[in-house]
Amino acid sequence: MFTQAKKVRDAVGNFILVQSSVKSCPQLLNSVNLHLEAMRKKIQNMTDEEFKTNVDATISKITVKDNNQKEEY
């Protein structure tokens, strides 16, 4: 499983890529839900300074101009 903040057509969202040739869909969905819950707890436990640092880093990453059309998607 891979996840990252992603900008698509000027809308910011979260990109989650899940692939498996051995796990079933319910198992994969459970893994995604566990990951999202862990991230929620991590964000809740951040200090205001840590949160601001992460927000600033995300803004910096998504405001970088795309090099070509392929990178928009």
The answer as to whether 32 is a domain residue is yes
Residue 30 lies in a domain: yes
The dihedrals phi and psi of 66, each to the nearest 5 degrees, come to -65, 140
- pLDDT value at residue 63: 77
- At 50, the pLDDT band (50, 70, 90 cuts) reads very high
Residue 47, in any domain of the structure: yes
User: Within a domain: residue 43?
Assistant: yes
pLDDT tens digits for range 7-25: 767 777 777 888 889 999 8
- CA 12 to chain centroid, in Å, comes to 10
Whether 68 maps to a domain, the answer reads no
71, part of any domain: no
Of 65 and 18, the one with more pLDDT: 18
Q: What is the reported pLDDT for 68?
A: 66
Q: CA 40: distance to chain centroid?
A: 12
Distance CA 33, CA 61 (A): 25
Instruction: Classify residue 10: in a domain, yes or no.
Output: yes
Enclosing domain of residue 12: 2-62
Say how far apart CA 34 and CA 29 lie, in whole Å.
Answer: 9
Q: Which residue has the higher pLDDT, 65 or 41?
A: 41
In a domain, 8, yes or no: yes
How many domains does the chain fold into? 1
Q: Is 0.75 topped by the overall pTM?
A: no
